Amino acid sequence: MIRTPLRPLARILDARLKGQNPDVIEKANLAARNDALRDTSRARAEKRLILLALCFFAGFSVIGARMGLVAASTPSEPRAAAGGSEISAQRADIVDRTGRILATNMLTSSLYAQTNDLVDPAQTAAALAAIFPEMKAKDLVRRFTDGRSFLWLRKVLSPEQQQKVYDIGEPGLYFGPREMRLYPNGTLAAHVLGGAAFAAEGVNSAQLIGTAGLEAALETRLSDPAQSSTPVTLSIDLTLQATVEEVLATGMATLHAKGAAAILMDVRTGEVLAIASLPDFDPNDRGAVAPVKDQGDSPLFNRAVQGVYELGSTFKIFAVAQAMDLGLVTPDTLIDTAQPFKVGGYPIREFDGHNYGPTKSVSDVIAVSSNIGAAHIGLMIGGERQKAFLTSMGLLDPPQIELIEARSAKAHFQSPWSDISTVTASYGHGIATSLLNLAAAYATIGNGGVKVTPTLLHSDTHAIGPRVITQATAKACVTMMRRVVTDGTATFADVPGYQVAGKTGTADKAKTVGRGYQKGHVVNTFASVFPASDPQYVLVVTLDDPVETAGPKPLNTAGYTAVPVAAEIIRRIGPLVGLRPLLDETSLLQVNAPPKQPLAQE
């Protein structure tokens, strides 16, 4: 670029000649130069601004386009994510303590119809009615043609049924995927598992919710997506549960009982190894249970947890335990058992018109099960202390266990606690509680007096409860209960090798309507701990209205009904739980080798 001089010599000389000021020329030139400079700078700045604006425009356009695309497109799962942590909408499995499946999910299909797509409603209805026995062709035709466009036909289908529906070839029938709750063991542990049903239903999925038992009580845990791949481990042992149910069912049938229940519990941890209530139902098809008039007789009713019964003489050990703990008696103290004996005008009688003489030792009162003896011990303790003690044993509260039914099983007892309550409560009458509470209370005695809280969940750690009675008292109680089996009312329970200790109880059944008792109808209970030298397990067996008809005279005391059933259960489960049998020399001589037989004839 050629620079224009500010003072061009020619013009300066010319101006000087004319007598003008040459500085004016310089100023004019300077101004012109500045103008030119300004113009070029402006042009450059303008260009830069446009470029910048273009950049911004492009940037914002890209963002805007992306936003529009995201908003307009259908959402899809990010498939590139690493699949390590498993999150699914499935309901968690339930397994027993050794990992065997008690409840799991199965993929099936539901069936629905879009009536607008139906080609031939009448023929479709006939074909469906042929596949599903519960459908009626006439109803279906009416429902297909009454103007609705959508209708559910079946909640779940078996694969065979699905194939048959495919074979109809009707385009208006659709399948939706369904996760179904499956209980592979059928009726086994039915009352523990409860059952599940569909709640909110959509075409592509349905929500499974627990309707009873553990499924309902642990709903949040089971339906938590983050924990759905970890199964819930129960304390139940499938083998023990099956054995207990089998023996109990046989006992119930032989003794013509209306119902039966049994609980097997670990004394140290309170873990329930088996809990059965009969009659039972199939949790896979809970709806199939026919309704009955008396809720307490329904197969759905859990007699072991939900039912509150007067448990009779099994309560005597609690009166004795408390009296010993308070220092009022020792096992050898003589107790007045003389008849007649009246409290508040009510005569207290021994069972079946027995008379045990003027006095009996405390140990004998338990062994022969004297009501009058227990009543005297109860009176020594006094009502207030007795009620507090029974509460501390957990007998007056609803049972604490992971079942939804437990919450409603409130214990029944007279309020206010009168003298007659004290007397009757010492031998287990006038007070009705859940069988599970009784099992827990016996576990507390077996556990050396430290309170045991029952649980259905298996865990390696368990909280240690408060001490309720002293260790010495607990030990003495077990020794006394051992005497009940060796030479008392429960001699049938003396299973060799397992040193069973227990207490029988026979209570008249309370009327379901009104006050008083049903004549000739009893609830028989046998509560036991074994082995007596080092209690490990508690077994409680109860039979509703049994009668033993093998002998010349029908018998319905616990010693002839609940006790033999409990003994058979202990005989069967003893080897299963891995208890080392404590045998003496003579019983060891009875070992006989298995018969030698050829295995198979190949």
Partner 1 sequence: MRPFLFILSFLAMVASAFWAYRENYTTQAQLKDMAGLQDQIADLRDQIAMQKAEWAYLNRPTRLRDLAAMNFDRLGLMPMAAVQLGAASDVALPAAAPLLMTGTVQDGAGLTPVLVGAEGGQIP
Closest approach of partner 1 to the CB of residue 212, in Å: 21
Which residue reads 């009875």 in tokens? 590
Q: Which CB, 169 or 177, lies closer to partner 1?
A: 177
Q: How far apart are CA 238 and CA 102, in angstroms?
A: 8
Query: By C-alpha distance, which of 361, 456, 336 is closest to 406?
Result: 456
Paired with 182 in beta bridges are: 104
Query: By C-alpha distance, which of 455, 487, 449 is closest to 468?
Result: 449
Q: Which CB, 91 or 482, lies closer to partner 1?
A: 91
* Helix, strand, coil percentages in the chain from 3-state DSSP, rounded to 5: 40, 20, 40
Helix segments in 326-382, DSSP class H: 362-368, 371-381
Q: Which CB, 413 or 492, lies closer to partner 1?
A: 492
290 token code pair: 């026919």
Q: Which CB, 7 or 100, lies closer to partner 1?
A: 100
Which residue reads 């019964």 in tokens? 309
Query: By C-alpha distance, which of 191, 186, 230, 209 is closest to 92?
Result: 230
Q: Which CB, 44 or 100, lies closer to partner 1?
A: 100
555 token code pair: 């018998």
Closest approach of partner 1 to the CB of residue 94, in Å: 11
Closest approach of partner 1 to the CB of residue 222, in Å: 15
Q: Which CB, 220 or 597, lies closer to partner 1?
A: 597
Paired with 445 in beta bridges are: none
Distances from the Cα of 386 to the Cα of 309, 324, 424, 476, 580, angstroms? 19, 13, 11, 19, 37
Q: Which CB, 210 or 574, lies closer to partner 1?
A: 574
Q: DSSP secondary-structure letter at 594?
A: P
HEC profile of 536-565: CEEEEEEEECCCECCCCCCECCHHHCHHHH
Q: DSSP string of 126-176?
A: HHHHHH-TT--HHHHHHHHHSS-SEEEEEEEE-HHHHHHHHHH--TTEEEE
Please give the torsion angle defined by the CA atoms of residues 226, 229, 233 and 238, in that order, rounded to the nearest 10 degrees.
150
Closest approach of partner 1 to the CB of residue 38, in Å: 32
Closest approach of partner 1 to the CB of residue 587, in Å: 6
Q: Which CB, 140 or 495, lies closer to partner 1?
A: 495
Closest approach of partner 1 to the CB of residue 324, in Å: 32
3-state secondary structure of 207: strand
- Residue numbers of the site for partner 1 (CB under 8 A)? 79-80, 83, 100-101, 104-107, 182, 184-186, 188, 238-239, 241-242, 246, 495-498, 571-572, 574-576, 580-581, 583, 587-588, 590-591, 594-597, 599-600
Closest approach of partner 1 to the CB of residue 585, in Å: 12
Q: Which CB, 217 or 238, lies closer to partner 1?
A: 238
Q: Which CB, 100 or 138, lies closer to partner 1?
A: 100
Give ∠ CA 194-200-206 in degrees, rounded to 5.
Answer: 80
348 token code pair: 């207290």
314 token code pair: 């099994």
Closest approach of partner 1 to the CB of residue 229, in Å: 9
85 contact partners, CB below 8 Å, separation of at least 6 = none
Distances from the Cα of 579 to the Cα of 491, 530, 574, angstroms? 21, 10, 6
Q: Which CB, 90 or 339, lies closer to partner 1?
A: 90
Closest approach of partner 1 to the CB of residue 173, in Å: 23
Closest approach of partner 1 to the CB of residue 186, in Å: 6
Closest approach of partner 1 to the CB of residue 80, in Å: 6
Tell me which H or E stretch contains 56.
helix 22-72
